[in-house]
Amino acid sequence: MFKKVIFRDRQELQAQDLNNVEEFTDNSLQALIEDAVSERAHYTGFGVIQQGTTEIRVEQGRLYKNGNIFVLEQAQEINLFQYLPMATKRICAVVVWGSEVETEVEPRDFLIDVVQGTTEPRAVAMQKLRLANVNIVPGVESADPQPPAIQEGLVPVAYIHLTTTGIEKIERLERYVLPKLRQVKEDLVELQNWKNLTEPRISSIITDLTTLSKKSDNKADLKQVLEIAADMARVKEKLNLPNTYHSYDADYFGDTSKIDTDNTTAKIQNGILFPDAGRAVANLALFNPYDPNIKRFDSLVLPDFTPTPKLKTEGYSGDISISQYQWQTHEVKRYTTYTWQWVYGWNWNWYWRWYYRYWYWYYGYEWWWHGYWGYWVQVPQTEYRLETTTHSINGAIVAQTFLISSAFWLTNIGLYFTQTDNNAPINIIICETTNGKPDLQKTLTMTTVQPSDIRKYPQETIINITPVYLKPGRYAICFITQGSYKVATVSGQNYLQGTLFFGTDGDYFTGDLTKDIMFTLYGAQFKQARTEVQLQPVSLAGGITDLIIQSPAIVPEGTQLIYEINVGGKWYPITEAGRLNTKPDIVPIRAVLLGTADLQPALFLSRQSIIASRPATTFTAVSKTRQLSAPRTTIEVQVLVANYDSTKHTLSCQLLVGSNTVNPAIVTTQQEDQNAVRFTYTFNITGGTDSYKIRIQGTRTEDSQPFSVIERIDIAY
């Protein structure tokens, strides 16, 4: 403290003297913090804990800023419901700032007459508090949200990642935490120890590099080796040598091309896996077909909704006759929905994909992993794909294009007919466009409307279709009929986001800019953001540890389709691995559809789309015959194994040479990384051999997790 107040006996004491005692101490403490600790803003405490779906609790803490200390003495609870995004995601910042407030208001007597000693009471603040305030700064809603801009004077403590359903995660901002001298000392000691250890080695690098340079003189570089390899490839091609005509080989078990399937009892799925000890196949079907929370369209299931107009052309100006145009044969190719695949348990070798980074195995799909073991999802990159079947429809054609600015589920089409034909139906097609023209080779949905279902203008004809998901883009409504139908039109100046087309021989679709068809597109307005769909349970005598769900689904961006399983009377998402370790005989399943009032995912009911199984405790895998160019006496087999536990697992390797079984002379193991072990088996063949098979066998205890073989390399010399 660089200032002190001096007190003396029998000296007058004023209020300012006592205030100066605190003021001088406060100024010294501020200077100490700014000079010795930090002049920037830092904090301690302020832990942010999730209390519920949208609630957080901010714990007590202290804010250090400009040498002052501000304190939050009581934890605060904050509800983030008002900040939830409508359709995508948002990041909110928890911020703190300091302010001075006067507290502890108490009645105190004040002397108003010195002679008579008269006093009067006054309510005054007895304490000045440097208070740490807490609040929320919301960011902008986006599919790829960014943290909000923090104005000067505020210190961010944590970022809260929000989805439409609540808090996704909490990210604490450690860069503003006040560093502790004890931790700094420990880091400094560790750094000094590292320096003492590495400095002698670093000092000798120049010498080592000089020695290495001398050793590499007169050695072939990589370019020369690649040229030799290319020449050898040309020689093998000229000599017409088979691929097996060499003494080394590898197999990553992506398929069974190198496996003797007649003598193999194992799954070959990008690795050698334990076969199924039990297996059951079930349909993806509704437990309650009359569930009031959903709407079903044949196999398509959507959450309950109300059709609402999404796009409309108005202002009747006349009509157009479809039959005035030439009859033609129209080739229609329809879209169908991609199949998703949810895999739970030990049905797949995750490590093989992680180790070799093959994230795209099938064209048009992505793989999403949830933990190293237990769950993964195969996600199609688009919602629809074209069928190979082509449909033929005869008649005249008229079409109207339209532009969609935001995604929605198209459920109904409203049309206006000024003339109908009782002898012929009319085909209504929704398709994509190519270069702005309707493209019947990219049909999303189609329906045939009978004359009895058509109303005459001014009544609107509501056409029910199987709901189809429309992303932002340009689409078309096509009318194909052999009847004498007329449809109402509006002026071409009333609707500028589309064009009227009709078919001719000269140009399959010719535009008309003077008019547009009068129509209304109805989209689904969903009644709730979360819908639970109870499905038929799956059962397997002896117990279930693995599940595969293979079913078409459409999950628009910003929505979620989650399958859940019921174990012990409680529902768990199948993203949580290990829930089937108890091997239940029956597993209830439900689908949870998450979205907004405007957009929701859809699932499709399908036959034999659920596979329940459990793995066996042994496997045997035998390779096809390895043919060498000449007899070899030493053969080395390397086997890379993932998730291996030597206390519960065994692995063996043998060579089958003719009718003889050869055991390895030497077996070594090497820890490849945290999750993989490489076994090396060395075989000595008396007299040599030019052909052999490799047999790999594995076992596990009943209570252990299965392991997988992900690579096999054999070298004969």
Residue from 427, 397, 390 nearest 507 by CA:
397
> Tokens 């030799």 identify what position?
228
- Tens digit of pLDDT for each residue in 181-194? 788 888 888 888 88
Helix, strand and coil content of the chain, in percent to the nearest 5, comes to 15, 55, 30
> Tokens 């297996």 identify what position?
279
Residue from 576, 581, 574, 582 nearest 547 by CA:
574
In this predicted structure, what is the pLDDT of residue 365? 46
- Tens digit of pLDDT for each residue in 288-319? 999 999 999 999 999 999 999 999 998 899 99
- Every domain of the chain and the residues it spans: 38-176, 248-274+617-716, 280-302+339-381+527-615, 305-337+383-525
Say how many C-beta atoms besides its own lie within 10 A of residue 99's C-beta: 10
Contact 672, 640 (CB under 8 A): yes
Those residues of the chain that have pLDDT short of 50 are: 226, 229, 233, 236-237, 243, 353-373
Cα–Cα distance for residue pair 30/69, rounded to 1 Å: 8
CA Rg value for the chain: 38
Any idea what the Cα angle at residue 641 is, between residues 639 and 642, rounded to 5°? 160
Amino acid symbol at 174? E
H/E element, 356: helix 350-356
Rounded to two decimals, the pTM is 0.60
Partner residues linked to 395 by β-bridges: 328
**What is the CATH number assigned to the segment(s) 38-176?**
2.60.40
Cα–Cα distance for residue pair 139/149, rounded to 1 Å: 8
In this predicted structure, what is the pLDDT of residue 508? 66
Residue from 424, 457, 493 nearest 320 by CA:
457
Cα–Cα distance for residue pair 661/500, rounded to 1 Å: 77
Contact 630, 557 (CB under 8 A): no
Under CATH, to which class is 305-337+383-525 assigned? mainly beta
Question: Which CATH number is 248-274+617-716's, of 1.10.10.60, 2.60.120.260, 3.40.250.10, 2.40.128.20?
Answer: 2.60.120.260
Say how many C-beta atoms besides its own lie within 10 A of residue 349's C-beta: 25
For 581, list phi and psi in degrees, rounded to 5: -65, -25
DSSP-assigned letters across all residues of 64-102: EETTEEEEE-S-EEEE-GGG--SSSBEEEEEEEEEEEEE
- Which residues, including other chains, have CB under 8 Å from residue 43's CB and lie 6 or more apart? 61, 62, 63, 64, 96, 132, 155, 157, 176, 177, 178
- DSSP β-ladder status, 365-369 and 374-380: antiparallel
Cα–Cα distance for residue pair 546/612, rounded to 1 Å: 6
Partner residues linked to 487 by β-bridges: 320, 417
In this predicted structure, what is the pLDDT of residue 371? 43
Cα–Cα distance for residue pair 264/619, rounded to 1 Å: 8
Say whether 248-274+617-716 and 38-176 share the same fold.
Answer: no
